[in-house]
Amino acid sequence: MSKFSNPVVLKLIEKHRRLWAIRHASALMSWDTETYMPRAGIDGRSYASAELEALYQQAITAPDVVALLEAAEGFEGLNDYERGVIRVMRREVDRYTKIPAQLLYRLERTSGLAFEAWREAREKSEFSKFSPYLKELVEINRKIAEALGYREEPYDALLDLHEEGLTTGEASRVLEGIRGELKRIYERVSADGYYIRPSALEEASYDTGAMGQVNRAVLEMLGYPADRARLDVSPHPFTIELGIDDVRITTRYEGRDFKRSLFSVIHEFGHATYALQIDRELFMTPIGDGVSLGIHEGQSRFWENVIGRSREFATLVKPLLDEKLKLTRGTDVEELYRYFALVKPQPVRTEADELTYNLHIILRFELEKGMIRGEVKVDELPELWNRMSEELLGIRPRNDAEGVLQDIHWAHGSIGYFPTYTLGNIVAAMMWSAIGKERVKELVAGSRFGEIKEFMKERVHIYGATYQPRELLMKSFGSSYSPDALISYLSAKYLS
């Protein structure tokens, strides 16, 4: 039985095909920008993406598309999938109707140039090279928020772009709710000393070719389908979904501290698996993608942290590491696990451990909220960043490269993205709790990853964007984003 039978919804899906194709082209271009494009190509590329974005805007706000959507909205008795199509299309149409074309163009073009400026600023650790672009991007984002509208404050509109329905109030409640608990767990872990003792493996250098072999072997072990997916190298690991049979992940090789490359691969594998397991019938329809960044990040965090940084996984992967990487030959499994699960406050978010990671998010959330409210000026950011880092993590970055310039998101023009990482950590913990602590251990120890994927497929992946994030969580796990799950998971891991 087909999921779609209403003739107007079917027509809307057919119209959507062209929108999907424009997005497909943009995604392929982004993948290329981050992987193989010569650096000087960015100028032309930023014009090209701005033009494609304009084309998308024209296509989605075209009178025939809007008329079909309005007609579809008039029907009663539609099924969940059909309602999902209408919900997602309505969000897109509203967004592109409300944001003026010139503003979108300016965002695309400025973020292209800002990305290059940021890259140089970070290399030289000179915030002033990036700050003029950031000022403009903040201004553009504030205008976008005004155009979109919001209930309580402009930042709400930006959060909603990344996570349907997320508001400043809810993000505050979630982040403030875990802040004290995280601190409590961290203090106990510090006092105990086991997880904070440095590991020699952090400093050990590795051969990039050998590490590439490890990453490929791990992907094979987890069940990454070679005929439907790729692994490449980029400065910042990411996943791009070009279609249900073309999903691409990247990692990086820094030459030391091999877990960083390995866990990037496992993390992106989690994103890729979501995309690969969406119901094939939803492919190329408005609901054929992951529903939100928070839910997406939940999938990647689950694979990276719950599975990858576990004792059972360390046991499983040790022979492979010993054979290919050699560094681990003199280490026992427990030491390898301790290296994987190490707790170490340090200035850089992407290197953060599971426990302190969310403190990095609180810092960014406060600063973004302040910038959009107009309470924080871009020129004050470096100092504010460092001060908050000291307050939250006990560490002052040595320079702006490892402080305010460390993340790519603002350079991409994205403000309101960061809180979705903590939502992801929460979703991962909710899945851990739903599968069951002992059962997760058993499945990983037995290398039964197919069963874990099947669980995720049935509860989350198969639906694509059919349900709103909170609706999906309620349906599949019985509650909305639940910070308690994250605290239980971290307590079970670090305090027992």
Catalytic residues: 268
What sections of 200-310 are H helices per DSSP? Answer: 208-222, 259-276, 293-301
Would you say 430 and 485 are in contact if contact means Cβ atoms under 8 Å apart?
yes
Residue 271 Cβ, how far from Mg ion at the closest point, in Å?
6
Would you say 276 and 225 are in contact if contact means Cβ atoms under 8 Å apart?
yes
Strand order in the sheet with 229-233: 229-233, 246-251, 239-243
d(CA 118, CA 401): 10
Tell me the HSE value of 491 on the side-chain side, using a 13 A CA sphere. Answer: 11
d(CA 391, CA 214): 38
Of 425 and 468, the one with the shorter C-beta distance to Mg ion is 425
Residue 223 Cβ, how far from Mg ion at the closest point, in Å?
19
3-class state of residue 346 by DSSP: coil
Residue 300 Cβ, how far from Mg ion at the closest point, in Å?
4
- The closest residue (CB) to Mg ion is 300
Residue 304: exposure state from Cβ atoms within 10 A (0-12, 13-18, ≥19):
buried
Q: Where are the beta strands (DSSP E) in 384-482?
A: none
Q: Could you tell me the CA-to-CA distances from 235 to 109, 140, 154, 319, 404 in Å, in that order?
A: 21, 26, 32, 29, 18
Of 337 and 417, the one with the shorter C-beta distance to Mg ion is 417
Residue 247 Cβ, how far from Mg ion at the closest point, in Å?
14
* CA 118 centroid distance within chain: 20
3-class state of residue 188 by DSSP: helix
d(CA 429, CA 434): 9
Residue 91 Cβ, how far from Mg ion at the closest point, in Å?
22
- Structure-block tokens of residue 75: 């029907």
Write out the residues near Mg ion by the rule CB under 5 A.
300
Residue 297 Cβ, how far from Mg ion at the closest point, in Å?
5
Of 292 and 300, the one with the shorter C-beta distance to Mg ion is 300
Residue in 269, 343, 340, 278 with CA at minimum distance from that of residue 311: 340
- CA torsion 56-61-67-69 (nearest 10°) is 60
What sections of 5-100 are H helices per DSSP? Answer: 7-35, 42-60, 63-73, 80-98
d(CA 421, CA 271): 13
Does an H or E element contain 250, and which?
strand 246-251
Of 46 and 300, the one with the shorter C-beta distance to Mg ion is 300
Of 167 and 300, the one with the shorter C-beta distance to Mg ion is 300
Q: Could you tell me the CA-to-CA distances from 473 to 26, 170, 276, 298, 426 in Å, in that order?
A: 30, 16, 20, 11, 11
Residue in 236, 249, 213, 246 with CA at minimum distance from that of residue 325: 213
Residue 239 Cβ, how far from Mg ion at the closest point, in Å?
7
For residue 169, give every residue at least 6 positions away whose Cβ sits within 8 Å of its Cβ, in sequence order, or none: 152
